[in-house]
Structure 1
């Protein structure tokens, strides 16, 4: 059953890879911050619809969660803004792969220390080798682009 979640994550990654050049194009046309604002506003409208019709009615509990739980939205806004700025300069593949490598480094640290309530999964040689290979792949992906 875990493969279903891996497929969902794969689909989410494909959406993020598609979102970045779309937002990059929007940012070039209306401005980087304006593009990020517009992207999140459209997302807000979509999520408002979903919450109204499919939500569990527990939105009021947001006032009782630890305040650090609210940082996800801030981090998402910063990420989208960074992608809007970088994709037109580096190309989608380089920007997205660099972001994924950054996500892996952060995720390995989060797993290793068990931050944010995730199960502790120690960094080992296999995981380190995976990150080293990703950094090497990033070098080759960037080197192979016409933007260098």
Structure 2
């Protein structure tokens, strides 16, 4: 018995719908993080604030790894080096949050970040970069990006 591609995609689609609230909550957490980083950066310096955030995060991840049991996957030295670029991008993101938030506000910072994220993700999807499945840019995706830019302008003016 052969299943259609639509039927095969349903469990994946359902998982995506279940994960969506979690992703939204994570996004809310980034706004809270931005609000915390500005004052912390003013007190201890922007780089120390970034280091402290990553230090706490590293400690939490180590505890999770200790209590989650053996992990599957290759050793870090077996991975292509380009896949580790996120280790550079994460701290740069947090430093920018720490610097920008006190000057332009949390809403402006978050919508600017969102516009960059959506803009780049549309390109990554369109070209299938980093081994992702290609998803061509259509009019709806361009419209969504345009609306985010409009939101950025409106928040900047408000």
Q: Which residue of 2 aligns with 1:96?
A: 110
CA-CA distance at 1:87 after TM superposition: 0.1
Regions of 4+ moved over 2 Å: 55-60
Q: In 2, distance between residues paired with 1:66 and 1:55?
A: 25
Q: Which residue of 1 aligns with 2:24?
A: 10
Call closer, same or farther: CA 1:117–1:92 in 2, change over 3 Å. same
Q: Which residue of 2 aligns with 1:35?
A: 49
Question: Please, which runs of 5 or more residues in structure 1 have no aligned partner?
Answer: none
CA-CA distance at 1:143 after TM superposition: 1.2
Summarize deviations over 1:89-142 as a string: whole Å, max 9, x none.
000000011001100001000000001111100111110111111101101112
Call closer, same or farther: CA 1:24–1:12 in 2, change over 3 Å. same
Q: Which residue of 2 aligns with 1:134?
A: 148
Summarize deviations over 1:33-92 as a string: whole Å, max 9, x none.
111111111111111111111153457611101101111121011000000000000000
Which runs of structure 2 are paired with 1:1-148 in the superposition (5 Å)? 1=14, 2-58=16-72, 61-144=75-158
Call closer, same or farther: CA 1:65–1:17 in 2, change over 3 Å. same
Call closer, same or farther: CA 1:26–1:55 in 2, change over 3 Å. farther
Q: In 2, distance between residues paired with 1:44 and 1:74?
A: 15
SS in 1 for 2:120: helix
Call closer, same or farther: CA 1:60–1:122 in 2, change over 3 Å. closer
Q: In 1, distance between residues paired with 2:27 and 2:125?
A: 20
Q: In 2, distance between residues paired with 1:25 and 1:98?
A: 20
Q: In 2, distance between residues paired with 1:129 and 1:71?
A: 30
After superposition, the CA RMSD in angstroms is 1.3
Count of matched residue positions in the alignment of Structure 1 and Structure 2: 144
TM-score (norm 2): 0.87
TM-score (norm 1): 0.93
